[in-house]
Amino acid sequence: MNAIKKVLLTIASGLALTGCFDMTEHPYTLLDASNYFTDENSVKQVIAHIYAQEQSDLSELYWYAQELSADQITWRSWNGGSWGWDSGDKFVLSTHTWNPSSNYVNRIWNGAWTAIGLCNNFITDLSGINASALGLSEEQKQAYIDEVRTFRVYCYYNVFEVFGSVIPLTTSTDTSVLPVSAMDGITFEEGNAKICDWMIQELDETLPSLDANGSVNRCNQAMNRMIKMRILLNSEVFTGQPRFDECKLLAKDIIDGKFGSYAIADDYKAIYSANNNTECKEIVFAFSSDVVYNKRSTNMRNGPFMSYVFSAYFNTKEEHAGWNCCCVTPSFDNSNNFYNQCVEFDANGTASVVKDMYDKELAVCFLDEQYGDKLGAVMERYDPRDIRLVAPYNDAAGNWGGHFMKGVIRADFGKGELQMADADRDGQPLVYVDQVGNFQGKGEHPLQVVENPRWGETNSGIRAAKYPYYNIDSPFNFCDPDVVEFRLAEVYYTYAECLLREGNANEAKSWVNQVRKRYFSASDWTNGSTVDGRSLVGAQDQAPRGFSAEFDEDRMLSEWGLEFFDEGHRRRTDLRRFDKFTQGQWWFFGRATEVGYDLPAQRDRKYEWFPVPDRALAANPGLTQNPSYM
C-alpha cells in the first residue's frame, strides 16, 4: 500500500504540471503498470486514491468557485478590511471581479487536472494488463475500468461547469502532445455541446458495468444517472438547447428505483451523521471520510466559518482549525447595530453582555419591500419553525442538531463561559450577527448602510456547521461522517423543477414538500402560528419572507439553496439556470461601493464562466481563451 501511495504521489505531481503547463516526459510515464497493479486489492487501492484526489480538489477549490461566487456564502474581511483580505484573492470571487490573472482562477484551474490524469493513467494501464494476472475475470477488469470512466466524467463535469469548453478534452496519456481546448476550431457553445455529448456517451456506455445498490463510496448506477441528469438539467446553460423533457424522465426513473433503491431520509441529521454511508438510504454517493485514513475534507467542512474558539462552544475535539473567514450572506442592512443591542460599554470601554440575542427587526431585511431581493438573505428565507434553525447541540450519546451559530457565543452551547472575540473586537464578547458592516469605522472606511464583504468585523455574519461536531465524550468523531455528494433529494428537486417549467406548479410544490416535511413538527407542517410577530400558515404552504404565495421560479431557486446550502458544488450553477448569477441582485450588488471595484446590480455576462488563466495560456498555445475575456 505504501509503495502504491508513492507511485501515485509521483503520478499526481507530474499530472498537476501537465494540466496544460509542462508536457515533457517524466520518469513515472516509463513505469510498467505491473509494478503497481499486482492483484485485485491493488486495483482497489489505486481507485481509492483517485477518489481521494478529486475529493481534495472539490472540498476547497471548487467550493470557492461555486459557493463564494454565489449568493449564500461570502468570504469577508475584518479588522479594518485587512485580515482575510489576502490582496483580494477571494474578494474577487464574491464580487464577480475576477480576471485571467486572478490567483484563484489559476489555482482552481490547476487543481482540476490531477484526478483526471490519474483516471486516464488507470484506464490505459489496466487495459494493457491481462486480467488473469490480477486474479480477475475480463468482466471484472472491465467493471473497474468502467467505474473509473464514470468517475472521470464526474471529474470532467466539475471543471467543465466552471470553465466551459476552453478546457481540453483528452483521454490520452501521451504527454508529448499539447492538449487543445475542446472549442478549438469551433464556437464556445459548440465546444460545450461536444463535451456534453462525450460525457453522456461515456456514462451510457459504462452504466451496465456498475452496481445498483452498491457501496455509496464507489461509482454506482444511480450516481452515473445523476451525473447525466445534471448535464440534461443544465443543458440550456451549457449549450443553449433545453433538455428538460429528457431530464424529467430520467429523474423519475431514478426515483422509481430503476438504478437502485433509495429513499428520502425522515431525519435530516442521518444525511450528515457518522455511519451515514451505511445508515442513510437517501445517499447515492459520498466520499469516504475517516479520522485515521482520510481527513482531506475536514478543514473545509465547517472550518471556514468557525472562530478560533469554536471547540469550546461545541465541547468537541478540534480536528481542524477555525478560519473565521466565511459567513452566511447577511439578511439585514446596517441601519441598526445588532452588536450594540447585546453588548454595552462603560466609561472605561469595558464591555458587558446585556442580552444574548438582538432584535433583528430594528434593521431592514433585504427580502422586504425596500430592497425586494429574492436571493441571499439566507436566514430569513428559512421558515422560522424549521428545526435546522435550532441552536446547535450535541451530547455524549452522539445526538446532535442545528446548523447555525448566532447571537452571544458561550462555551458548551451557551451554558458555559462567555467566548471572547479577536482582531477588531479583541477582548470583547463574541456575538454573531446577521449583518456585515464596519461598525467601528476602522481602516478609514465609514460604515455604509449596505456594506460589501471587505468591510465586516470579526463577529460579522451567521456561522454555519452543516456537519456535526460531536461531543468530546461521544463515541463519534467529527471526521466520521462521509462527505455527501449525490443524494436522492436532488433528484426530487430536479423532477420538481422540470414540472414547474412545464407549468405544473402545484405538482412541483408537492415533490419539494416531500423533502421539506422532515424539517417541521406535524403541527407546524399543517397549522398556522405567529412567530416573531409574523402570521404564518402551515409550513407546507408558507412562502419565504418577501416571496409570492405562488410556487414560482423564485421559490424553486430558493428551495434549491436551502436544501443544499453549503454542500459545495451547485449553487452557482443553479443561479445560472434561472439567469440570476450575473443578472440577479442580492446584498451589496448595486448598493455598496469599494475603491477600485465595480459592483453593479447586474454584472457582465462574461462572469457566467471563468477564464483560462494567463499562466496556462502562456504555457500552452493550444488553449483558447473564452471569447468573452478577449
Least confident range of 21-25, 54-58, 602-606: 21-25
The Cα-based distances of 356 to 81, 338, 339, 460, 512 in angstroms read: 27, 11, 10, 16, 35
Q: What is the pLDDT of residue 10?
A: 37
The one-character DSSP state at 407 is E
Spatial CB neighbours of 58, under 8 Å, sequence gap ≥ 6: 158, 287, 297, 485, 568, 569
Residue for grid cell 456561522? 463
Q: What is the pLDDT of residue 55?
A: 87
Q: What is the pLDDT of residue 378?
A: 98
Q: What is the pLDDT of residue 296?
A: 62
Q: Is the pLDDT of residue 250 over 60?
A: yes
Mean pLDDT of the chain, nearest integer: 92
* Record: fold of 2-261+605-629: 1.25.40
Q: What is the pLDDT of residue 13?
A: 35
Q: What is the pLDDT of residue 293?
A: 64
Q: Is the pLDDT of residue 419 over 80?
A: yes
Q: Is the pLDDT of residue 60 over 90?
A: no
The Cα-based distances of 414 to 324, 408, 541 in angstroms read: 19, 8, 33
Q: What is the pLDDT of residue 66?
A: 94
Q: Is the pLDDT of residue 241 over 80?
A: yes
Alpha helices in 128-242 (DSSP H): 138-163, 188-206, 221-233, 235-239
Cα 147 from Cα 129, distance rounded (Å): 17
Q: Is the pLDDT of residue 38 over 80?
A: yes
pLDDT category of residue 1 using cuts at 50, 70 and 90: very low
Spatial CB neighbours of 221, under 8 Å, sequence gap ≥ 6: 207, 210, 211, 212, 214, 259, 260
Q: What is the pLDDT of residue 33?
A: 67
Is the separation of the CB atoms in 467 and 353 below 8 Å? no
pLDDT in tens, 512-540: 999 999 999 999 999 999 998 899 999 99
What percentage of the chain reaches a pLDDT higher than 70?
A: 93
Spatial CB neighbours of 271, under 8 Å, sequence gap ≥ 6: 265, 280, 282, 283, 484, 487
By C-alpha distance, which of 375, 352, 526 is closest to 69? 375
Indicate the domain borders of the chain. Answer: 2-261+605-629, 322-471+515-558
Buried b (16+ CB within 10 A) or exposed e, 563-578: bbbbbbbbbbbbbbbb
Q: Is the pLDDT of residue 214 over 90?
A: no
Q: What is the pLDDT of residue 59?
A: 81
Kindly report whether the global pTM for this prediction surpasses the value 0.85: yes
The Cα-based distances of 24 to 27, 181, 537, 616 in angstroms read: 10, 19, 65, 15
CA atoms within 13 A on the CB side of 523: 2
Q: What is the pLDDT of residue 8?
A: 38
Least confident range of 77-91, 152-166, 429-443, 549-563: 77-91
The mean pLDDT of 314-324, rounded to a whole number, is 90
Least confident range of 145-149, 296-300, 333-337, 469-473: 296-300
Q: Is the pLDDT of residue 285 over 70?
A: yes
The mean pLDDT of 607-628, rounded to a whole number, is 96
The Cα-based distances of 595 to 28, 78, 535 in angstroms read: 49, 16, 42
Spatial CB neighbours of 158, under 8 Å, sequence gap ≥ 6: 54, 57, 58, 62, 112, 569
The one-character DSSP state at 14 is H
Question: Position 456: which residue type?
Answer: G
The mean pLDDT of 283-288, rounded to a whole number, is 95
Q: What is the pLDDT of residue 372?
A: 98
Q: What is the pLDDT of residue 444?
A: 85
Between 1 and 94, whose confidence is greater? 94
Q: What is the pLDDT of residue 230?
A: 98
Least confident range of 85-89, 143-147, 381-385, 510-514: 85-89
Of the spans 262-266, 348-352, 531-535, which averages the highest pLDDT? 262-266
pLDDT in tens, 110-151: 999 999 999 999 999 999 999 999 999 999 999 999 999 999
Q: Is the pLDDT of residue 174 over 90?
A: no
Q: What is the pLDDT of residue 299?
A: 64
